[in-house]
Structure 1
Amino acid sequence: MADIINLLPDNIANQIAAGEVIQRPASAVKELLENAVDAGATEIHLIIKDAGKELVQVIDNGGGMSETDARMCFERHATSKIQTIEDLFSIRTMGFRGEALASIAAVAQVELKTRKRGADIGTYIEIDNSSVRTQEPCQTAEGTSIAMKNLFFNVPARRNFLKSNAAEMRHIVDEFIRVAMAYPQLQFTLTSNNQQLFHLDKGSLKQRIIAILGQHYNARLVNVKESTDYMNVYGFVGKPETAKKTRGDQFFFVNNRFIKSHYLHHAVMNAFADIIPADSFPLYVLFIDVNPEHVDINVHPTKQEIKFDDEKVMYAFVQAAVKHALAQFSVTPTLDFDLDPSIQQLDAVSKPFTEQQKTESTHSPLYKSFTQAHQAHVIDRSNSNLKNWKDLYDKPAAPQTESYAMSAYSDADDDDTEQETRTAVTYQSAQPASTASAIDERWQDSTNAQKVPVQVHQQYILSQIKSGFILIDQHAAHERILYERYQRALQEAPVATQQSLFPQTLQLPPADAAIVSEMLPDLQALGYDLEPFGNHTFVVRGTPADIQTGNDQATIEGLLEQFKNFSQDLKVNRREHLIRSMARNNAIPCGKVLSAREMQNIIDELFACTMPNVAPGGKFTFISFKLTDLARMFERNQ
């Protein structure tokens, strides 16, 4: 009987391994940048074309490689970092397993130019689908230049799974920022389609944070630094006013390696628990230095997930370090007390206070009212017509009566304010049943509508129907209404835009800026008037006319957070993500007091929807209760 088990050819084995290591262009960016750092480079240049699908190139001035090393580096598990099993538990370099270049060469066309320091000539290697096509001497600068072209050219199915250029570019920027943030002492540049996106000069960690995340953080960073024999924690956290509705400005590094740790993130959130809103995320860039023996970084192909031998100690130390920093330094908004030069030239500042001016000021009635005992209440009536002001308090206010409360409805017209309507409804709820019934009848007579709906705990709307009553979730119902409105806007007429009197400048993290750029046409159809302003900044000139204006930055940050959450949970297209995110973000929140008219509008619009019973996410919008059910619950004879 013939044997059926065979060894896989190298190119197929490498492609299988590449499936875990190289998932998208950003994966190759991460591996190539880390290799450049390990090579001792001080200047690293990343060049991207077509969001990495056409070209990912990294040029560094590091140590370079010999001719033999240049060829060996593309073999699987060929590495200079590991010699013995003990080395695996004392790793301080970025790469060590020797899988990255072999995986890249298995799914792309690779060109390598490298020259070792002090060598007269370099080496050029061209690899296609794990096969060496060319290897020859060449003239090149000291260091290494490696170009990955046409990613997944030999695996069309995987290429089809790549996202849009904007989405892939966002992941590339994320990886670039993580490496650049960890090594502020190195110079980094990022060029995409011949346009330079980042030029980060060498400097301190604070300078690197400001260069990446924005100049507005300059006076809003709190230094964190705690040291023990077991571990060190250092870095910066943002003051409470820098907290945003969106994630993206959170960075953890262990031994200069970026990691993702929900456990440590929770520790920082606990430190900020009492000083920022529950739905906000603080900025932090924190580095943990710990003996490699206490860390296992070999638990995931991308090395972004690691394990600590004692997570509780890490959690407690990180939380304590952040709390101590916030307590030690001012966490209140910074005020600038430097006077403008033009103000300093004014007479009130530059000239002395003369004796005559002092005499005039001390004899003024205002001065006496604050300096003489028991005179703070004195009012100068010489130039006022307030002689009868005490009459306002001499007569007690007439008590409210039932007729007064009823007249609030009978005399009201369609232009009543929300507060007047809410006062009448609140007063009605405090009356005996007979009074409430009379008010209800008066409301029906004046509006020719159904009975006034009632809000329950500022979360639900109770409305009577013929067979009983329904209980509506105000947030879920409004989410359904907005969702269908936005659907129509994308398919038919765009949503009207309310132009801002004073346009706001919106500063976003680079990754979020890439999302907004990708969604710009759809956002404009949904009523947002946004215009790119360069350097990850947008000008907000208008917002949808049907949402409350005010803090446009908080509104768009909330939309981005919802969009990112939906993108992880739902397998739907980008437009569907966007309108679901907008509907949830702009829906009336629980806890908001609604007028009777607002509640009735929600009821009318909800039952005009094509699918009124569920919100876009699948939650019920209302539950109905029948009279027969109530009679059974109260054991009444039907």
Structure 2
Amino acid sequence: MPDIIQLLPDHIANQIAAGEVIQRPASAVKELLENAVDAGAAEIQLIIQDAGKQLLQVIDNGKGMSETDARMAFERHATSKIREIDDLFRIKTMGFRGEALASIAAVAQVELKTKRAEDTAGTYIEIENSVVKKQEPVAMATGTSIAMKNLFFNVPARRNFLKSNAAEMRHIVDEFIRVAMAYPDIFFSLSANGQQMFHLEKGTLKQRIVQILGNQYNAKLVTVQEHTDYMNIRGFIGKPETAKKTRGDQYFFVNNRFIKSAYLNHAVASAFQEMIAADSFPAYVLFIDLDPSQVDVNVHPTKQEIKFEDEKIVYAFVQSAVKHALAQFSITPTLDFDLDPGIQQLDAVSKPFTEQRKNEASSSSLYQTFTQKYAAHKIDPSHKSELKHWKDFYTADSQLTDERNKMTDERGPMTVNTGTDVQALSTSGYHPSTLPDQDFTQLHNTYIVAATNKGIILIHQQNAHERILFERYQQAMSGTAVATQRSLFPATLQVSPQDAVMLNEIIPDLHQLGYHVEPFGKNTFVIQGTPADVEQGNESFAIELLLEQIKHFSSDVKFSKREKVIRSLAQQHSVKAGRSLTQKEMKQLVDDLFQCRQPNVTALGNPTYTELKKEELEKLFGK
């Protein structure tokens, strides 16, 4: 019998490795940008065509490579950073395994130009399917330019698995931001299809954060700076008011390498406990510096998941540092020349801080949380904390604000209510499509009470309106578009580059739903019109909230992009709890609800109404 085990050919082995390293264009962006950083570049340009499927090019002014190194760089496991096994435990560079260029060359057409400062001419290499097609001298400036064309041209099945251009572009922008954020002393630029999306000048870390995340963070960042013999932490956290419903603006770096760590995310979130809503996520850009021997960065092909030697120490240190920064932010006095003179007359300011008051303050759990030794990692449960009263104060009054009535849903993120017994509602044997002619009663400005032949029904006005709008928008997507009311003074909306990519993707769907939005230059859009039945004046806020809600849905793969838009706008435009309705409005709401295909639940599974039969009412009174 002949032997049946044999070695894979190199070009097949390279394609298999490419499946681990180069999953999409963004994977190549990460590897090529990190190589440019390791080369000591002061300026790095990223050029994209067709979301990286047609062209992905990185140009840097780093130290370049010799002719021999340029050829060797495309061999598997060829690296300049490891000589012996101990080097694996002292890694301080971004790349080190020598797989990236070999993997890229296996699934794309690659052109490399590189030159060292001491060389008179550079080297040009053209590689296709791991085979060198051309090599010749070239005149160029010091540095390296590597272009990756026609990704997965020789693996059509892999190419078919790529997402839409907008989706792939979002991933590219994410990887670009993660590298650019870690190196504010390097100039970065990103151009896509001939249009520049990012132009990040050299500067401080705070300047880079504001450049990337937006000017709204300029006055809302708190410095985090702690040093110990074991590890250091530096960076910025957003003030509590910057917390969002999504994790978008959260960046952790260990030894300048971006990582994903739910464990450390929890450490930061726990430090914000009681300062932000439980369903919100704080913004932060934090850098942890510690001995490379205490970290294993080689546990995942993308190197975004790492292993700490002692996770508990790192967790406690991060939590303590963030709490300390928040404490300093809270107690440091600021000089405000525009302070209302009336504030000076308040008891808290005008009355002396007596010994009795001092003792009362120092005995509080909040004070002890920040002052007791070794207690920086401890936060009392919410039912014991004084901050709970502040939360209750705001949540109680926020239901009555005009802003809530018009636009905002303060109930928190949209979560599917899996506990609803939909079957019981829909098969109760009673379908109130025709209610007796009557006057409706509104209870607590939230519920509509109606009498039926068999008892009473209680309708939640917001849930009911959500179901009505959801089905109305579904029909608009497949039929006649919602009527648009043109704005006399169009609103201008400026968003982050990541959100600009997302907004461009959903503009056709927004047109069907009555929003007339047009691009207007770099990351700027003009809202020319809004749905005819929506009050004008808050259209910019409506689009911003829509983008935030779509990002909240991003982890739910069962929803298409169009479905996310419909669900978000249905929730956003629904009449909110706390708003008083006239008899005509209540009747219209009830009639529209029971003309829906599925009137008993919202699109998220929450009940729109519940029924109390006459027998159940009699049991309540012992009859």
Which TM-score applies when normalising by structure 1? Answer: 0.75
Tell me whether 1:607 sits opposite 2:594 in the alignment.
yes
Alignment deviations for residues 569-598 of structure 1 (CA, whole Å, 9 cap, x no partner) = 133532223212322344455676766665
Q: CA deviation at 1:548?
A: 5.9
Q: 1:463 to 1:448 in 2, by over 3 A?
A: closer
Please list, as runs of the form range in 1=range in 2, the aligned pairs for 1:133-282 lying within 5 A after superposition.
Answer: 133-282=133-282
- Report how far residue 504 of structure 1 moved: 4.8
CA separation in 2, counterparts of 1:621 and 1:98?
58
* 2:91 pairs with 1:76: no
Shift of 1:203: 1.3
Deviates more, 1:43-52 or 1:76-85: 76-85
Structure 2 regions of 5+ residues with no counterpart? Answer: 339-404, 406-434
Distance (whole Å) between structure 2 residues aligned to residue 54 and residue 222 of structure 1: 42
Amino acid aligned to 1:238: G
- 1:268–1:318 contact (8 Å) kept in structure 2: yes
Aligned to 1:467: 454
The structure-2 alpha-carbon separation of the partners of 1:606 and 1:42, relative to structure 1 and needing over 3 Å to count, comes to same
Count of residues paired in the alignment:
529
Partner of 1:106: 106
RMSD of aligned Cα (Å): 3.3
Q: CA separation in 2, counterparts of 1:277 and 1:547? A: 29
Residue of 490, 494, 499 corresponding to 2:477: 490
CA distance in 1, matches of 2:114, 2:251: 32
Amino acid in structure 2 at the alignment position of 1:92: K
Distance 1:140 1:610, change over 3 A: same
**Counterpart residue number, 1:284:** 284
- Rounded to whole Å, the distance in 2 between the matches of 1:334 and 1:620 is 49
Whole-angstrom distance in 1 between the partners of 2:458 and 2:9 = 65
Please give the per-residue CA displacement for 1:538-593, whole angstroms capped at 9, x wherever unaligned.
34455434456665554333322321233431335322232123223444556767
CA shift at 1:149, angstroms?
0.1
Q: Distance in 2 between matches of 1:246 and 1:593?
A: 31
Give the 3 Å change call, closer, same or farther, for CA 156–523 of structure 1 in structure 2.
same
Change (3 A) 1:528 1:271: farther
Other-structure match for 1:433: none
Tell me the residue number matched to 1:452: 440
Q: Is the 8 A contact 1:22 1:104 kept in 2?
A: yes
What's 1:318 paired with? 318
Instruction: State the alpha-carbon separation in 1 of the partners of residues 487 and 292 from structure 2.
Output: 54
Deviation string 1:33-62 (CA, Å, 9 cap, x unpaired) is: 001001111111111111111100011111
Pairwise CA distance, 1:193: 1.8
Q: Deviations over 1:201-258 (max 9, x none)?
A: 2111122122222334333322221111222111122334444445422221111111
Per-residue Cα deviation, 1:19-39 (whole angstroms, up to 9, x for no partner)? 222121111111100010011
Structure 2: how far apart are the matches of 1:154 and 1:101? 16
Describe the SS at the equivalent of 1:266.
Answer: helix
Per-residue deviation, 1:526: 1.6
Of residues 109-118 and 329-338 in structure 1, the stretch that sits farther from structure 2 once superposed is 329-338
Q: Distance in 1 between matches of 2:8 and 2:614?
A: 71
SS in 2 for 1:132: strand
- Between 1:202-211 and 1:237-246, the stretch displaced more is 237-246
Query: What is the CA-CA distance between 1:181 and the residue it aligns to?
Result: 1.0
Instruction: Give 1:25's aligned residue.
Output: 25
Answer with 176-185 or 82-91: which moved more: 82-91
Tell me how far 1:630 sits from its aligned partner: 6.3
1:279 is displaced (CA, Å) by: 4.6
User: Which residue matches 1:507?
Assistant: 494
- CA shift, 1:95, in A, is 0.9
> CA 1:326/1:621 → structure 2, altered by over 3 Å: closer, same or farther?
same
Seen in structure 2, the aligned counterparts of structure 1 residues 533 and 268 have a Cα distance that, compared at 3 Å, is: farther
What's the CA shift for 1:125? Answer: 1.5
Distance 1:584 1:15, change over 3 A: farther
- Cα deviation for residue 474 of structure 1 reads 4.6
CA distance in 1, matches of 2:481, 2:33: 44
1:544 aligns to what? 531
Matched, 1:127 2:115: no
* CA apart distance, 1:145: 0.9
Contact 1:240 1:331 in 2 (8 A): no
| In 1, Cα distance between equivalents of 2:34 and 2:333 | 38
Q: Secondary structure at the match of 1:301?
A: coil
In structure 2, the residue matched to 1:55 is 55
Match of 1:579 among 559, 566, 579: 566
Select the residue among 484, 508, 530 that pairs with 1:521: 508
- Deviation sequence 1:323-362 (CA, Å, 0-9, x none): 3223323699999859xxxxxxxxxxxxxxxxxxxxxxxx
| Bigger Cα displacement from structure 2, 64-73 vs 475-484 | 475-484
Structure 1 unaligned spans of 5+: 339-417, 419-446
Contact kept in structure 2, 1:109 and 1:150, CA below 8 Å: yes
Give the Cα separation in 1 of the matches to 2:523 and 2:558.
28
**Deviation at residue 601 of structure 1 after TM alignment:** 3.8
Contact kept, 8 Å, 1:248 with 1:511, in 2: the verdict is no
CA distance in 1, matches of 2:181, 2:448: 50
Alpha-carbon contact 1:241-1:333 (below 8 Å) kept: no
Residues 316, 475 of structure 1: CA spacing in aligned structure 2 closer, same or farther, 3 A cutoff? farther
Q: 1:554 to 1:262 in 2, by over 3 A?
A: farther
Aligned amino acid, residue 452 of structure 1: F
CA distance in 1, matches of 2:308, 2:65: 34
1:4 maps to amino acid = I
- CA 1:480–1:289: 2 relative to 1, 3 Å: same
Pick which of 607-616 and 94-103 moved more: 607-616
- Checking the alignment, whether the CA contact within 8 Å between 1:220 and 1:242 is kept in structure 2 is yes
Using the alignment, how far apart are the partners of 2:278 and 2:488 within structure 1? Answer: 31
Structure 2 counterpart of 1:395: none
2:521 corresponds in structure 1 to: 534
Comparing 211-220 with 75-84, which one deviates more in the overlay? 211-220
Q: Which segment is superposed worse, 625-634 or 303-312?
A: 625-634
Matched AA of 1:227: H
2:14 counterpart of 1:9: no
SS in 2 for 1:134: strand
Candidates 568, 577, 585, aligned match of 2:555: 568
Match of 1:373 in 2: none
The 1:130/1:466 distance shift into structure 2, 3 A limit, reads farther
- Name the % identity: 67
Tell me, yes or no, if the aligned pair for 2:245 and 2:552 is still in contact at 8 Å: no
Q: SS at 1:522's partner residue?
A: helix
Matched to 2:437, the amino acid is A
Q: CA, structure 1 residues 182+493, in 2 after alignment: closer, same or farther (shift >3 Å)?
A: same
In 2, Cα distance between the equivalents of 1:599 and 1:261? 49
Deviation, structure 1 residue 287: 1.1
Contact 1:76 1:99 in 2 (8 A): yes
Q: Which is higher, the Rg of structure 1 or of structure 2?
A: 1
> How far 1:298 moved relative to its partner?
1.6
* CA deviation after TM superposition for structure 1 residue 620, in Å: 4.5
Structure 2 Cα separation of the partners of residues 621 and 533 of structure 1:
40
**How many angstroms apart in 2 are the aligned matches of 1:205 and 1:164?**
33
